Amino acid sequence: MEGRIKAEWEKLRRVVIHRPGIEMFFGLLDPEASLYERAFSQSNALKEHDKLVSTLQSEFGVSVDGFCETISRYAGRDKKAKEMLVETAIEHVEFIGNKKEVALAKKEMTLNVDTYDLDYFVNIILLRPRVALKKNKNGAEAIHIDITARDPLVNLYFMHDQQAVTDKGIFLSRMSKPQRRHEPAFAGMLWKMMKLDVVHKCEAPGTFEGGDFMPMKEFALIGCGDRTNARGAEQMLKHGQSFPEVGIVHQPTHPLMPGGKSDPMVNMHLDTYFNVAGSNIAIGSELLLKRAAVDVYVKDGNSYKKDKKGTNLFDYIRGKGFSIINLSTLEQMSYASNFLCIKDHTILAVESESIVKSVLRNLEFKARLDKKRYGALLSQAKKDYNAFLRSEQMFPHKKEIGQNGIDFYAIDLKNVTGGYGGAHCMTAAIERN
């Protein structure tokens, strides 16, 4: 059934993906401020993204819906859908300057609604432009467009984060960072057009992001930390799902970074250091899994009761009968855990080997600026790289993958992952069975 998922390893049938557009250009003007990991080639990133889509379709028979294209398609054939798109777009464009000129510009936009292409309104929402109107002394109008100050949706292509798809339906996120705060409403528009059940919208002061949720059939995991806070996790627990048991996983501070100076971006979401490749096999960084405290909640009628026994994610998952394939620090930072499970024991993996040099260069740059904060992390990453050169085994080309009966298809995403996410982050799975 579309819009409901019980287990991460159920056969993947349908996903929604956003191919980055002009908004990515604005993100690359200042990668760090845009929450990107590093600078990268946009043209090559788009080729990689296209390869991701074609692989899902041709290799695995997954139905792939383009986010913006699907919105335009619904708006083109349904009057209410078009009204929703237009009204949202008008809310996202801001005219400033002379009151008379502002009023005229708004009126002109409204009058020309049927003249503009539907993509015009989609692009307004993507870029959220501010239009400054002012007349020159000679009477001619000069129009200044300020886009970057309006938080264009530069991270929208990480389509997994704007919502979590649970056993009950879609739980709409409320993003932690202001750069991403406008994305869930845009995604919610599509779910409404597709008539998928949105069971709850995360409300302030709660924050929640889809990368922090993992459905595991008989239980679920909710990451809690920099991106999903306690209030957001509480709302998911109460309104978003109905699994018999839920583990609230507290984001661990990285042991290779000094206290008080940890970088939450290194393991910002649960799926950046943990994932499942099948019904009995998990993949993650043991270094982080053993430091990730877990509070267990058991369903009691219509609510949940906290189990008094505390544990960590490594022991909790092992206790559920899962084996764990360990990832080195460098593999974890190279998006090894951010694979997409296609079906039980079959994954679409990020080719970590193609990314490691970019990750190391970026980490070396950070260590030059702040050695105390990143020095130990860099040292361990270099050790991991040297070990890889000796063994020629880096995820997913590890003997443990074959030993555990996992089939994989590795894809080169060395540029597009520069935005801080892999195949899992870039796909909104809406149907598994």
Beta strands in 125-273 (DSSP E): 130-135, 141-146, 163-165, 170-172, 198-201, 213-215, 219-224, 245-250
Which three-class secondary structure state does DSSP give residue 2? coil
Closest by CA position to 267, among listed 279, 281, 249: 249
Q: How far is CA 8 from CA 238, 375, 386, 420, in A?
A: 21, 36, 33, 21
pLDDT at residue 148 in the model: 43
List the chain domain ranges: 12-68+154-432, 71-150
Task: Say how far apart CA 427 and CA 60 lie, in whole Å.
Answer: 14
The dihedral built from the CA positions of residue 334, 340, 345 and 346, taken in this order, carries a sign that is negative
DSSP 216: B
Closest by CA position to 250, among listed 289, 278, 305: 289
Query: What pTM was computed for the model?
Result: 0.95
pLDDT at residue 132 in the model: 82
Looking at residue 41, its amino acid is S
Closest by CA position to 237, among listed 296, 314, 318, 157: 296
Closest by CA position to 90, among listed 124, 63, 44: 124
Half-sphere exposure of 225 (CA within 13 A, CB side): 27
Residue 80, Cβ density class (10 Å: 0-12 exposed, 13-18 middle, ≥19 buried): exposed
When the candidates are 3.30.465.10, 1.10.10.1100, 3.40.50.620, 3.75.10.10, the CATH number that belongs to 12-68+154-432 is: 3.75.10.10
pLDDT at residue 194 in the model: 97
Task: Say how far apart CA 7 and CA 282 lie, in whole Å.
Answer: 13
Task: Say how far apart CA 341 and CA 9 lie, in whole Å.
Answer: 6
Separation of CA 234 from chain center: 20
Tens digits of pLDDT across the chain (433 residues): 789 999 999 999 999 999 999 999 999 999 999 999 999 999 999 999 999 999 999 999 999 999 999 999 999 999 999 999 999 999 999 988 888 888 988 999 999 999 999 999 999 999 999 888 776 666 555 555 544 457 899 999 999 999 999 999 999 999 999 999 999 999 999 999 999 999 999 999 999 999 999 999 999 999 999 999 999 999 999 999 999 999 999 999 999 998 777 899 999 999 999 999 999 999 999 999 999 999 999 999 999 999 988 899 999 999 999 999 999 999 999 999 999 999 999 999 999 999 999 999 999 999 999 999 999 999 999 999 999 999 989 999 999 999 999 999 999 999 999 999 999 999 999 999 9
Residue 328, Cβ density class (10 Å: 0-12 exposed, 13-18 middle, ≥19 buried): buried
